[in-house]
């Protein structure tokens, strides 16, 4: 294994990846993702699963097939999640009645960074959230902004494809 990066993938990355590269048409891309999951190098917190389950589409079906290996229990990194929200309360929408994945995605990456293994050298968050131009009126905080604060690698799906040197 030449690349030892562990990727924590956000809901937005999976949804937009399915939109841009539909599973039935881009089977090799999704097969490469399955390979990362099988290697234990692609993961997401359980709240990402909860967000994806809300729609009935090909992504939901793909997730169901790999859910046991893709999604991780959030208990080990709950302290990181609480720290993130204390510093960045705008990362979640307080009007929503359910847990939102963004702080858990970042917390999972922080936990992986804090407890490195011999196998994984890097940890990157994969997200497709749009970074906005700074605006004092804006309350919503983006994953990339929090990643900058904590020094976490934050990339897009295409960057992951390049980093893994996948050719289609």
- Written as one string, the DSSP assignment of the chain is ----EEEEE-HHHHHHHHHHS-TTT-HHHHHHHHHHHHTT-EEEEHHHHHHHTTS-SHHHHHHHHHHHHHEE-SGGGHHHHHHHHHH-GGGS-TT-SS--HHHHHHHHHHHHHHS--SS--EEEEE--PPPPPP-TT-----HHHHHHHHT-EEE-HHHHHHHHT---
Segment 125-153 mean pLDDT: 82
Phi first, then psi, for residue 106 (nearest 5°) are -65, -40
pLDDT digits (tens, 9 = 90+) for 36-60: 999 999 999 999 999 998 887 999 9
Q: What's the CATH number for 5-164?
A: 3.40.50.1010
Closest CA to 101 of 116, 118, 84: 84
Read off the pLDDT band of 167 (50, 70, 90).
very high
Read off the pLDDT band of 1 (50, 70, 90).
very low
Report d(CA 128, CA 14) in Å as an integer.
8
Read off the pLDDT band of 148 (50, 70, 90).
very high
Read off the pLDDT band of 164 (50, 70, 90).
very high
Residue 2 has pLDDT above 60, yes or no: no
CB environment 38-75: b (16+ within 10 A), e (fewer): eeebbbbbbbbbebbeeeeeebeebbeeeeeebbbebe
Token digits for 59? 């992504």
Residue 6: partners with Cβ closer than 8 Å, 6 or more residues away: 40, 41, 42, 43, 112, 120, 122, 123, 124
> Which pLDDT does position 132 carry in this prediction?
59
| Residue with token string 């692609």 | 42
> Which pLDDT does position 115 carry in this prediction?
81
pLDDT digits (tens, 9 = 90+) for 55-107: 879 999 999 999 999 999 999 999 999 999 999 998 988 787 778 999 999 99
Query: Could you tell me the residue ranges of all domains in the chain?
Result: 5-164
Mean residue pLDDT across the chain: 90
The pTM for the full model equals 0.90
pLDDT digits (tens, 9 = 90+) for 8-35: 999 999 999 999 999 999 999 999 999 9
């Amino acid at each position: 294994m030449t690349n030892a990066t562990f990727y924590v993938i956000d809901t937005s990355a999976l949804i937009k990846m399915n939109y841009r590269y539909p599973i039935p048409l881009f089977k090799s891309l999704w097969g490469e993702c399955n390979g990362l999951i099988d290697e234990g190098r692609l993961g997401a917190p359980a709240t990402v699963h909860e967000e994806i389950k809300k729609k009935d589409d090909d992504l939901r079906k793909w997730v169901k097939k790999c859910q046991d290996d893709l999604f991780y229990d959030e208990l080990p990194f709950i302290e990181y999640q609480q720290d993130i929200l204390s510093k960045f309360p705008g990362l979640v929408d307080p009007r929503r009645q359910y847990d939102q994945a963004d702080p858990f995605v970042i917390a999972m990456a922080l936990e992986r960074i804090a407890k490195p293994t011999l196998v994984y050298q890097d940890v990157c968050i994969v997200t497709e959230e749009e970074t906005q131009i700074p605006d004092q009126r804006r309350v919503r905080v983006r994953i990339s902004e929090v990643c900058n604060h904590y020094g976490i690698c934050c990339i897009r799906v295409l960057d992951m494809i390049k980093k893994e040197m996948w050719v289609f």
